[in-house]
Structures are given as structure tokens and as C-alpha cells.
Amino acid sequence: MSLMDKMLALDQRIIFALMFIALAFPILNPIILPMDIQQYSRDSFEFADSIPAGSVVLIEGGLTAATYPQGGPGLEVQIVHMLRKDVKLVFFSIGTETAAWTVTAINNALEKLPSGVAAENGVNWVHMGYVPGGESGVAAFANDIRSVKTEDHFGTPIDQIPLMSEINKASDFVAVFWWGGSEGSIPFGIRQIVTPFGVPMTGMCTTNEVPNYTPYINSGQMIGIIGGVRGSAEYEYLMGMPGLALGQAMATNFGGLLWAFLVVLGNVLYFIARREEAAK
């Protein structure tokens, strides 16, 4: 068996091992490569930055254990961004697990807040928790919050929450930040909040879903999108708060370089093998 045949029949476990090394190395030895800020991320940041103090924003927290490392750092920084601007935040989640991870994001963001910034539960932010029913649940929540939620995530009755006293439907918010992760729920927000109520929205999704949702940006139905760990890293960078996402984005670069090399090598070897086969 020639070297080329051996390469073409390479055991995939060797590729897994190489990939593991390529991804782990930058985590153990942080290296920062040059990075451009994508326009979609910049648009998301600038839109959030333009929201006036005292406004109320709706945030859908859709991150899970798998997707939190990608979106979580960005969500945490955006919460810090909004609270520092005295923007009020109303969170909700359409998944059971995601509701719990939204609490993690809030707690981590509160730890990052500079002293003196108001961040009282029920006054500056409230987590309405899990809203079941998928898109139907979002529609019901957007039309009449009290019809689907009688209390917040922590059990406080909705009528005892000062922030919710004048909030009951989607049109009471100036914007929606949809941190959908990989739940594929951004169209729910477009269809049930943006289209019927005209509330502007930015989104966040995992990297693989970015191509699915960019048409909504081109059509003006969504203002920007934060894509995966790179989007989070860019939000961190624009906020001047480099953190976990930036380091992970660098590790993704190394993995991507190795992957691209293997794809090119595989194709070159394949074409050489095919030519040799034809010559015989």
C-alpha cells in the first residue's frame, strides 16, 4: 500500500486526535490572531448601544449547556451593556433548560457589573422564566404576558414586580434581543413579534445557523446577528471586555486551519489517485 493509499484510508480516529490537539493547544497556550469585526455583529452592537436609557427590552434566552460556551459570554456582556445604560430587561425562555441557563447568564453578568450600577431584580431586570408551546407560546406571550405567566422564574407573582406594572405585550418593548442559540427559534420572533408589532430585533444563533437567518437581515426584518462564539467575541471586543469568547474564537481558528488543510489534502490526493487509476 503506497503512502497515498494510506493517507486516503486514514483512520478517522487519527483525525479526531489531531483535531483535539489543534483545539486544546490554543486553550492551554492563548494566542490572539488578528480579527475583523463582522458587519452583522457591529450592527447588533450599535443598535443595542442606541437604545435610550429607561427603555425596556425583551430578551429571549435560548442557550443550553451545549451552546452556552458560545453565546453565554456575549449575552453576559450585553446584559452588562444594557444595565450600564439603565435599560430595563425582561427575560424569557421557550425551553426548560434554557430558562435555567438564562439565570446563569444574569448572575454572571451581575458579577461583572461595576459598582454603583442599578441591577435590582424586579426593578432593573426580571426573568419571566419558561414559556412553553414553542411558537404558539411566543405568540401568546407577545399578545398578553399575563395570559401565560402568573409569576416570574423565581416565583414572585407578576403583579408584585414593579418593572412589569406597565408591561403586558410585545409593543411595550423598544427592542427584542433573541439569543436563540441552536433552538432554531429566531423565525418565531420574526413572525410573532417583529411582523405583527413592528418591534426591531437582533438575533444570536450558533455558527451553523447564521446562513439560515441572514436573509432576515437583508430584508430588514432583523437588524444584526451575533453568530456563535465569534459573534460573542466581537461583542466582548466592542464592549472593551475581552473574556472567554475571544479565547475560544482563537481556538476555532486553529481547528479551522487544520480542517481546511485536511479538506484540501484529501481532495488533492483523491484527484491524483483518480488520475493514476485512469492512466492504468
Partner 1 sequence: MDSFLLGLIAGSFVSIGAYSVLIGDNPLSKFTENLYMGILGGFIFATNWNYVRTSAINPVLQGNYVFIVAILLCVMLFSRLKAEWLWLSRYPVAVTVGAGLGLAIRTSVMADFLGQINATILPLTSIDNLVMIIGTVTAAAYFIFTAQTEGPYKYVNQTGRIFLLAAFGVTYGQTVSFRFELVIGRLVDMLRPEVAIYTYVMLLLVALGLGYGYYTKKIKWYSGR
The stretch near partner 1 (CB under 8 A) out of 44-52, 62-70, 83-91, 167-175 is 62-70
Q: Nearest-5° angle of CA 46, CA 108, CA 124?
A: 65
Q: Which is nearer to partner 1, 80 or 209 (CB)?
A: 209
The stretch near partner 1 (CB under 8 A) out of 34-42, 52-60, 61-69, 112-120 is 61-69
Q: How far apart are CA 179 and CA 226, in angstroms?
A: 9
**Distance set, CA 150 to CA 106, 126, 168 (Å):** 21, 13, 12
In the list 74, 224, 243, 255, the residue contacting partner 1 (rule: CB under 8 A) is: 255
Residues 6+ away with beta carbon under 8 Å from 43: 202, 217, 223, 224
Q: Does 169 bind partner 1 (CB under 8 A)?
A: no
Q: Does 228 bind partner 1 (CB under 8 A)?
A: yes
Q: Which is nearer to partner 1, 52 or 198 (CB)?
A: 198
Q: How far apart are CA 165 and CA 260, in angstroms?
A: 54
Q: Does 66 bind partner 1 (CB under 8 A)?
A: yes
Question: 131 and 91 in contact (C-beta within 8 Å)?
Answer: no
Q: How far apart are CA 176 and CA 190, in angstroms?
A: 10
Q: Does 187 bind partner 1 (CB under 8 A)?
A: yes
Q: Does 32 bind partner 1 (CB under 8 A)?
A: no
Cell of 257: 486551519
Q: 85-104 mask for partner 1 (x: CB under 8 A)?
A: -----------xx-xx----
Q: How far apart are CA 48 and CA 8, in angstroms?
A: 49
Q: Which is nearer to partner 1, 58 or 190 (CB)?
A: 190
User: Which of 31, 18, 48 has its CA nearest to residue 231?
Assistant: 48
The residues of the shown chain that bind partner 1, judged by CB under 8 A, are: 9-13, 16, 19-20, 23-24, 27-28, 66-70, 96-97, 99-100, 130, 132-136, 139, 148-151, 182, 187, 190-192, 194-196, 206-211, 215-216, 218-221, 228-229, 244, 247-248, 251-252, 255-256, 259
